[in-house]
Amino acid sequence: MNEKTTLAALPKSVRARIIGFSADTEDQETRFREIGFAEGDIIEILHVGVFGKSPINVKLHGTSIAMRPRQAAMINIELLNESVS
């Protein structure tokens, strides 16, 4: 059983799989999906902002997307079973 958490709790450079969204509004979930996040996608935090670890820069396929930790907490993930290199 892989550990389940949210993107906000994912350490930098650790890969995880999206398992769903718990957005505060339907509009927020639509925006996540429109910009490209979907169940099953593998994501990883590449960069973290200067102050207060905000925003975060999330790798998604060939691109990367910036968001605030408050929003990252709405993306549910499971860690991949792989050793951190």
Q: Which residues lie near another protein (CB under 8 A)?
A: 24, 27-28, 30-36, 38-41, 46-52, 54-55, 57, 59-68, 70-71
Shortest approach of another protein to residue 1 CB, angstroms?
24
Q: Measure the CA angle with vertex 5, ends 50 and 31; round to 5°.
A: 70
What's the half-sphere exposure (Cβ side, CA atoms, 13 Å) at 40?
A: 0
Pick between residue 4 and residue 33 the one whose CB is nearest to another protein.
33
Shortest distance, position 34 Cβ to another protein, whole Å: 4
Residue closer to another protein by CB (options 3, 66) is 66
- Which residue's CB is nearer to another protein, number 4 or number 12? 12
12, 13, 16, 20 alpha-carbon torsion, rounded to 10°: 40
Q: Nearest approach, Cβ of 3 to another protein (angstroms)?
A: 23
Which two tokens mark 13?
């450079």
